[in-house]
Amino acid sequence: MSLIEELPKPEKVGAVLDYAAILQLLPHRYPFLLVDKVISLETTPVNTIVCQKNVTFNEPFFNGHFPGEPVMPGVLQIEAMAQSGCLMMMLLHPENKGKRPAFMGVDSCRFRKPVRPGDVLTMTAVEEKYRRGVGSLQVTAKVGDEIVSEATLMAMMV
């Protein structure tokens, strides 16, 4: 039985995994859980996951970033992308069951456009390399059809 078969089935149409399953996989909790649902998980031609984060005005970081002009901090966009990639590593590599993700590094990061309240942030992570619990991921975050941030991330399962 694969890990994904052991998780609760999503209640929402269009979700592969919803928040209930994500809470069983990631150790993060409010206000640091930055993935609301997994909308796609593919293994061919390469391992790829697509996740979403609904950005609301009630996010705690908007109080100070910035008053009168709320913008989602870039570091939290990176964290949302990293959480998406780690979900993929946990779901597609059975040896990671019971392990937790650890962020190792970020390269070639670019922020293209601001992310504001009301946006739906869609993160796509593609596994470039995976060996012995360490993965290199190419991750892109979009709002609609526009890229807002992108990076190459490294994470490991511990």
Instruction: Identify the CATH number of the domain in which residue 39 sits.
Output: 3.10.129.10
> Domain range spanning residue 48?
3-157
User: What confidence score (pLDDT) does residue 15 get?
Assistant: 81
Domain count, the chain: 1
Write b or e for each residue in 67-95: b if 16 or more Cβ atoms lie within 10 A of its Cβ, otherwise e. Answer: eeebebbbebbbbbbbbbbbbbbbbbbee
User: What confidence score (pLDDT) does residue 1 get?
Assistant: 47
pLDDT in tens, 7-43: 777 766 678 999 999 999 999 999 999 999 999 999 9
Ranges of beta strands (E only) in 1-158 are 37-42, 48-54, 101-111, 120-131, 134-143, 146-157
Positions in the chain short of pLDDT 70: 1-2, 11-13
Q: Which residues are annotated as catalytic?
A: 65
* pTM for this model (two decimals): 0.93
